[in-house]
Amino acid sequence: QFDDMIYLDKLATVSEMAASFAHEIRNPLTTVRGFVQFLSKDTTDENVKKFAPIILEELDRTNKIISEYLTLAKPASFQLQRVSIDDILYTSVHLLSPLGTMTNVSLHLYTEGKSDVYGDSHYLKQALLNVMKNGIEAIEHGGVVTIHKTVDEKEKEVIITIRDTGKGMTKDELKNIGLPYYTTKSKGTGLGSMIASRIIRQMGGTMAYESRLNEGTTVTITLPLYEGD
| Residues forming the site for Mg ion (CB under 5 A) | 134, 192
| Binding of ligand ADP by 197 (CB under 6 A) | no
Shortest reach from residue 121's CB to Mg ion, in Å: 20
Shortest reach from residue 183's CB to Mg ion, in Å: 8
Shortest reach from residue 193's CB to ligand ADP, in Å: 3
Specify burial of residue 100 (Cβ count, 10 A radius: 0-12, 13-18, 19+).
buried
The packing angle between helices 192-202 and 46-72, to 10°, is 20
Shortest reach from residue 37's CB to ligand ADP, in Å: 25
Tell me the β-bridge partners of 226: none
For 101, left (φ over 0), alpha (ψ -120 to 50), or beta?
A: alpha
With CB under 6 A as the contact rule, the residue among 97, 183, 202, 220 that binds ligand ADP is 183
| Binding of ligand ADP by 116 (CB under 6 A) | no
With CB under 6 A as the contact rule, the residue among 100, 143, 166, 205 that binds ligand ADP is 166
| Binding of ligand ADP by 185 (CB under 6 A) | yes
Are the C-beta atoms of 156 and 227 separated by less than 8 Å? yes
With CB under 6 A as the contact rule, the residue among 100, 143, 192, 205 that binds ligand ADP is 192
| Binding of ligand ADP by 191 (CB under 6 A) | yes
Are the C-beta atoms of 221 and 207 separated by less than 8 Å? yes
β strands within 51-142, DSSP E: 81-84, 105-111, 116-119
| Partner that binds at residue 204, options Mg ion, ligand ADP, none, CB closer than 5 to 8 Å by kind | none
